[in-house]
Every structure is written in C-alpha cells, then in structure tokens.
Structure 1
Amino acid sequence: MHDANFAADPQAVYEQLREQGPAGPVELAPGVDATLVVGYETALRVLQNPSRFVRDSRHWRALNEGRIAPDSPAVPMLGYRPNCLFTDGATHLRLRKAVTDSLAKLNITRIRRDVEPIADYLIDQFSERGRADLLAEYAKLLPLLLFNKLFGCPAGIGDTLTASMSAIFDGKDPVRANAELDACLMQLIALKRREPADDVTSWLIQHPVGLTDEELKHQLVMLMGAGVEPERNLIGNALLQLLSGANGGRGAGMMVEEAVDHVLWHQTPIANYAAHYPVQDVDFGNGVVAEAGSPVLISFAGANSDPALSEARRSGRGAHLAWGAGSHACPAKDPAHVIAVTAIEKILNALPDLVLGIPEEELQWRPGPFHRALVSLPVAYSPTPATRVAAALQSRGVVPQQGAPSGHPQHTPQPSSEGGRRKGFWSSFLDIFRV
C-alpha cells in the first residue's frame, strides 16, 4: 500500500482483498504488516467493539519486539501519543470530553465568518496570474490559517505552527519540525493560561477535566493533524470532482454539497486508518487471522465501496464511514463539512471560469497507505484583480493595522522587524485584518 500502483488505483487493492473476505493482509510500509478491513459490517464491528479491539498502540507487538524500526514511515502515524486517538477506557473518555465540549462551542456562523476572509486573502495571492495550484496555494494553506484563528495564535506562534505543520505533512526535516511544533504549542498554552480568550485552546484549558500542559499539547497536535490533512484532501478532491468531466461535475449541475458528499463516499480523504489492536487472535474468515497485538486498520474507502452499500451510494442516503464510527468517531465532522463547502464556494464564486490546467488523466495521487490525496491541482482561469481583501474590509468595517497594506496583500511573506525574520502567511494576514 506504499507504492505508486496503490496510489494510482487503490480500489483495485480493496477489490482484491474483498475476494478473500471482509479483511486481508497488507503491507503499510516496508516490513510493516497489518490487516485491512474492507467489509462495511466488519468495519463497524471493529469500530464499535473497544473491549476487543483497543486503540492504544503500545499493544503493537512487532514494534515492542524491535521487528519494526523506530524510524519506519508508518510509526509517526501509528505510534502512541496520549491523545483521544490512541487511548481507551476512562482515559479516552476524559480526554475526548474536553475535546468534544470545546469543539461544540464552535458554530456554523463563526466558522463561515473565519473561513471567508482567509479564503479572500489566499485567492488574492494568485488571482491575477490566471494559473495556480489550488492544492498548494489554497486547499493546503486555508486549514492551517483557519486553525491558527480557531486556536487563538498570535503572529509569531502562528507562523511557526503553520511552517512546522507544513513541514511535517511534506516530510521535510520532521524531527526539527516536531520540536518546533512542540515548542510553539507550549508557548501558546502558557499564553492562554495567562490570557484566556474566545478560542479552542482557552476552552480546553478551562475545561473541568483539568488537562495538564502535556495533555493539552497532545490534544492540540491531534486536532491539527486530524483536521488539516483530511480537510485539504476533502477540499482538493471535491474541487477536482467539480472540475472533472466525469461523474456529472459542475458542468452537469452538481452542487458543492453534492461534490463533498461524493468525495466522502468515493475519494475518502483519510482512506485507511483507525488502527486497532486485538486483545486476542481474531479470525476474519477465509484463513485471515489477525494476531493479538497486530495492527488492524479500517479501510474507510474500502468499506464505503462495499457492494452491500450500492443502493446507499446511489441514493446518497445511508452512513458512509469517512467520519469513522463508534466511540472514536470524528468529533468535528460538522465543522469540517462547513469549512470545505465554504472554501469551495468562495473559490468558485471568485473564479467562475475555473478549469483544470492539465488533462485530468495527468493528475497524480500522493503515494501512501493512509490518505487519498492529490500531488497538485493545477488550474487555469481568467485573471482577476486582487481586490477581495479590500472589499471584505470595506463590507465588514474593518480597519487595517497602521502600516499594513490596505487590501492588496503582499504575494510573499515579508521581513519583520524581529531580527530580520521573515513573516509567514499568518503574520501577513494579521497585518491586514484585525481578527
């Protein structure tokens, strides 16, 4: 599942596994074996049976016995962290309650209000060129900047957070990026303990379960990782669906919400994840046995394509597994849906003649066992003036900070006065909007 053939046609692998039964053996990375569940009903049974299938990857026998190298590319995604994804029982309930209660304070109106100026800002960076990569220049950056806003990041911390998260996802010097991410999140936590505000970080700190700083850091990392990568894939894949000549895209009258739902069913942004560890050997049938302490992953994409769900897929009714299920189901599916729909509506309204910049068959998918993600999304359109920020400022009655550009943002981060350090996208955004 880690080569280019899988990236090009993952459904072929799911169908091959399905011929064996509801689950089958796979290799996630060189030397990293797992069982992948592709049957819908079997996936539900695993997801909804935490006493038999635990999420704490400290049960991973092959890793514990040294049969998997600590620097294996599978370890960062599957290795234990003390957050909601990798805990069970009372610990999981305590951490998840803090997260779900804090996220529940976000509402659709606030999310749209926060997404729209960020979208305006990013579109203004490339709208005059007539060509862009909507993945690198829009779908990737928008969730990062939005999370800075939702977490209440000031300029310097937000720039570091954005740069380090980008480096982690792109595989660029991950050790240094992880260290910088840890440091900037601890700075953010210390700041919000001193000066709480109306943001997710402050709400987590104030929650009655009393999270420690270390627990807070790990929940924030989990929220960033679980939010940014899937969100950019959801936005990018849905934009491709709308621009595609196949499957009734925008030219055939497909609505944005329909495109997002189509992606959740058919191009699931996080395609294979939710690693579980059986507490005893499990026989999935047809000779497929998952040994105790071995990773059992859920193929959300494979389960969604189960022939048993053909009627649900056609009608648009029924429950896909893109958001997971059971006690570890995604706690932010409604905000994630609103973010994607708002971001897509903004770009389509701003650039109404948007088309793919290369033939669809030349688009490439990123290798990797966990995601369904494009390498890039080149587009072309009629150049338009970069005036969206100015219009947004005027309509909102927002006054730029003194010395900041009045609605025509710089196209590259500019040097700051702090020792010549260059500003990032978040600092540049804050220079324009008082947020």
Structure 2
Amino acid sequence: MESQQPAAPVAVPSRCPLYGQDFAADPHGVYDKLRAAGPAAPVELVPGVDATLVVDYRAARSVLQNTRDFGRDSRHWKALAEGRIAPDNPAVPMMARRGNVMFSDGAVHLRLRKAVTESLDRLNVRRIRRDVEPIAAHLIDQFSERGRADLLNDYAKLLPLLLFNSLFGCPPGIGDQFTRCMSAMFEGRDAVRANEELTACLMELVALKRREPGDDVTSWLIQHPAGLTDQELIDQLALLMGTGVEPERNLIGSALLLLLSRGSSGRGAGMLIDEALDHVLWNNPPIANYATHYPLRDIDLGGVHVEADTPLVISFGGANNDPTLRAARQSLSKGAHLAWGAGSHACPAKSPATVIAQTAIEAILNALPDLVLDVPEEELQWRPGPFHRALATLPVRFTPTPGTRVAALAGTRGEADAAQRTHVPAAPAVPPPVPPQVAKQAKKGLWSTFLDIFRV
C-alpha cells in the first residue's frame, strides 16, 4: 500500500495585495487564505505600502484594547519617517498623522476624545432625523420621475455629504467646497491637492464659527472646555466629517442591497431595517480594514512576528467572519462585532451613524415602495481599495412618482421655519469671507442647490 502524503500547506503570498478588482470582488476569499498564516498575515495595502493584517477576531480585539504595546500615532511608522513612502502615495492621506483623536495616545487622546464625544452626544435622535428627512426628500425628488436610479451615486453617496454640511454648520460656499474635496479624496482624484483644499476649507469654517457660533457640532467643539486650538479643531473636523461620509455611504448602500436582494437571493426576505444594518456590520462592514496600530516593540501575535514601528491593520471584515467565531455568534450580543472598533479608540459616532442610516433607508423605501434591483445581484461591482467595502453602483427601477415632496415642504413653511427644522443658517446680510478656491467656482454646488429649496 502506498503511503499517503501529507496535505500541502495552503500557499499564502509573501505580500497579499489588498488593491485591485480581484480583492474587491472576493475579499472574504482573501481573508480565508491569509488565515493559513495565522491570526495575522503580511499584505500590501497599495503598491509600496506594506502592513500586517489581523484577520482573527480574538487577536483583533486584543490589539484594539491594548494601549501598552500598540500606539495609534503614525509618527511611529518607520517607512514613512525614513522617506520610503512617497508623500503622494494614495495611502498617505488615510494613514499619515493628523492631530486628531484617531492618531493620538495617552493624555492627549483622552482630552480630544472627551471634546469629540461630548459634542457628538448633543446630536439626539430627533435632531438627526429632522436633518436627514428633507435631504432625503430632496435627493429622491431628483430621480423619482425617471423610474430608474443609481441608489449609490444618486442617493447614498450624496446624503451624508449634504447632511454633514448641515450638522457641522457649513454655509453654502464652504459646504460646496467640502463636498467636492471629500468626493475627490475618496475617489482617488488628486487626493493630495484635495486634502490641502479640505484643510483650507475647514480653516475658513472654524474662523466663521468663532465669529458666529451656531447650533452645530463645529460650534460645540469650539465651545468645549477642552479649549481646542484652531489646528486641533481642523484636525477633529477632518476626521469627523471625512470618516463619517464614506462609511455612512457604504452602510446605507450595502443595507439597501441586502433588503432589495430578497427577490433574487432571498437573503433579505422579511428583514427589518435594523436587522439589515446589523447583518452588514457583521459580514461586510463599511470600513473593512483600518484602525492602524504600530507595535512599540517587536511583537509575537499568536506565532506571527510583527516588527516594531510597522503598520498593523485590523481587518474588521476578516475578524468578524473568523470561522472560529461562527459557532458562537448566535450567543453573542448584536454589538459584539468589531465594525465600530473596540477599546478606547472605538468609534464615538456609533449612535448618530446608525440613526442616519436607518432614517435614510426608511425614507427611500417609504417614498418608492416597489424598488427592485435593475440588474442581477451577481453583476454588481464593488469599488477596489484596501480600506472599504463599497458598492460602485446600485441600479434600481420603480414606478415613476411625481417629485413634489420637497416643493410641498418648502411651500408650507416660511424661510425661518425651514431653516430651523433643518438647522440651515439663514443667509447673512454680509457673506463671510470665502476661500479663493471657492470664489473661483461660478457654478453652484450640491449644498447651495439644496439650500435654495428652503429660501423664498
């Protein structure tokens, strides 16, 4: 009898790429292969940027909660500090340090975290809903008569951009510039320049709100007892407004896909909106790989050697779907997933983000109750990129509906009442100074167009 040869080990590439369409099409297949190397494995985030990706649930939670051995300040990133990563590398805007709560440790982190969480805590459910609803109605009116739409680019992408302009008190010119810069950064269009323009835009917003405070997050951060400097304010705003837009878009889009897939795959049959959101957060979290940590010394992570001062990236998508966790998931609480992070750096905007997504999805399903996918689900494309899990498009069809909801809303309220309901500031008698790059834009932007609806 021939002796049976042992099974060959699963081949794992020396540096598995997390960019390109192959990874976007099947990230879970990649995570499964990486697990053959242990709880973490070497990856290439974008060309030239190496990291170690944690795909094991217990290891990921352990790193997230360990502030003794791991730091979040990317000044520890040896390759960047030594000039081996080019400043214009597309990963740099997402990973290079800003003086905000995400990239800070110790006492600085505690001080900034207190200012951020206490400011966001002032956004109650009622306030968020009354800001989301008119924006949702406005966007739906733009395509409701067509009978077809792309719910990603016509709705889920635009709603967070407009909403954050409202919540953070952006006047038209600054809001339009913020919208353009954020779209360019996330789409990889001249990200370095967009980042510079975004900083200038936020400088103008902080200066305006110091002169004219309002009922908005920017003003609350300025007024907080922590006494944030202008630069600290700009850095917190860049984090809150920037990281809030892309994940919110992806959460809304993926949950809508799940709810609309009931007719094809049957996965969303009978699901409630909060169940669909929970399913997405467990299985396809909007931020798939992020929360970069830097080991403060060489670390052995479950048998995997991780060198000091190198990026250790948490795979929320991989860790949540760790096969060793599947048997226990039924007994775990709904919030046991890692989509919001864990430990002292857990996402401070969990509650607002959930309410925004719930309200946006309710609005579109109530307005267009016969929504169906316009292409087979398996033909949908996912956007490439190492950090997110994001649909490229979500084409749907429905019975055409006259676009009258926003017109009715604006027509039944005076300008002051509409501004109060949406927390849109009335146009000042003397417009505030506008950054030069904003002044050059003759054409009205998305935010200005929306505000016009609530003005006589």
In structure 2, the partner of 1:28 is 45
In structure 2, the partner of 1:379 is 396
- Partner SS state of residue 452, structure 2: helix
AA partner of residue 428 (structure 1):
T
Cα distance in 2 for residues equivalent to 1:73 and 1:166: 14
Cα distance in 1 for residues equivalent to 2:186 and 2:157: 10
In structure 1, the partner of 2:95 is 78
In structure 1, the partner of 2:216 is 199
In structure 1, the partner of 2:433 is none
Cα distance in 2 for residues equivalent to 1:267 and 1:315: 20
AA partner of residue 22 (structure 1):
P
Q: Post-superposition shift, 1:74?
A: 1.6
- Partner SS state of residue 37, structure 2: coil
1:231 to 230, 234, 248: 248
Q: Post-superposition shift, 1:311?
A: 3.9
The residue correspondences of 1:32-71 to structure 2 (distance < 5 A) are 32-71=49-88
In structure 1, the partner of 2:104 is 87
In structure 2, the partner of 1:300 is 316
Report if the CA contact (8 A) 1:265-1:313 is conserved: no
Does the C-alpha gap of structure 1 residues 112 and 419 become closer, same or farther in structure 2, counting only changes over 3 Å? same
In structure 1, the partner of 2:14 is none
AA partner of residue 338 (structure 1):
V
- Partner SS state of residue 240, structure 2: helix
Q: Post-superposition shift, 1:174?
A: 2.3
Does the C-alpha gap of structure 1 residues 316 and 131 become closer, same or farther in structure 2, counting only changes over 3 Å? farther
Q: Post-superposition shift, 1:420?
A: 8.0
The residue correspondences of 1:113-128 to structure 2 (distance < 5 A) are 113-128=130-145
2:184 to 154, 167, 180: 167
The residue correspondences of 1:316-395 to structure 2 (distance < 5 A) are 317-318=333-334, 319-393=336-410
Cα distance in 1 for residues equivalent to 2:325 and 2:112: 33
Comparing 170-179 with 111-120, which one deviates more in the overlay? 170-179
Report if the CA contact (8 A) 1:243-1:249 is conserved: no
Report if the CA contact (8 A) 1:282-1:291 is conserved: yes
Report if the CA contact (8 A) 2:73-2:105 is conserved: yes
Is 1:218 aligned to 2:239, yes or no?
no
1:126-147 deviations in whole A, cap 9, x for unaligned? 1111111111111011001000
AA partner of residue 67 (structure 1):
R
In structure 2, the partner of 1:424 is 445
Cα distance in 2 for residues equivalent to 1:227 and 1:421: 28
AA partner of residue 272 (structure 2):
M
For structure 2, the 5+ residue unaligned runs are: 1-17, 417-438
Cα distance in 2 for residues equivalent to 1:184 and 1:311: 49
1:220-279 deviations in whole A, cap 9, x for unaligned? 0000121000000000000111111466444x2111111111100011100000000001
AA partner of residue 28 (structure 2):
Q
Is 1:291 aligned to 2:307, yes or no?
yes
AA partner of residue 348 (structure 2):
P
Comparing 57-66 with 173-182, which one deviates more in the overlay? 173-182
2:413 to 373, 394, 398: 398
- TM-score in terms of structure 2 length: 0.88
Cα distance in 2 for residues equivalent to 1:336 and 1:378: 24
Q: Percent identity?
A: 70
Cα distance in 2 for residues equivalent to 1:182 and 1:2: 27
Comparing 292-301 with 355-364, which one deviates more in the overlay? 355-364
Comparing 111-120 with 303-312, which one deviates more in the overlay? 303-312
> What is the number of residues matched between the two proteins?
415
Does the C-alpha gap of structure 1 residues 173 and 233 become closer, same or farther in structure 2, counting only changes over 3 Å? same
Is 1:186 aligned to 2:203, yes or no?
yes
Q: Post-superposition shift, 1:173?
A: 2.5
Q: Post-superposition shift, 1:36?
A: 0.7
In structure 2, the partner of 1:415 is none
Is 1:136 aligned to 2:153, yes or no?
yes
Q: Post-superposition shift, 1:399?
A: 2.5
RMSD: 1.8
1:173-219 deviations in whole A, cap 9, x for unaligned? 22332232222211111111111111000000001111111111110
AA partner of residue 431 (structure 1):
D
Q: Post-superposition shift, 1:51?
A: 1.7
Cα distance in 2 for residues equivalent to 1:269 and 1:191: 33
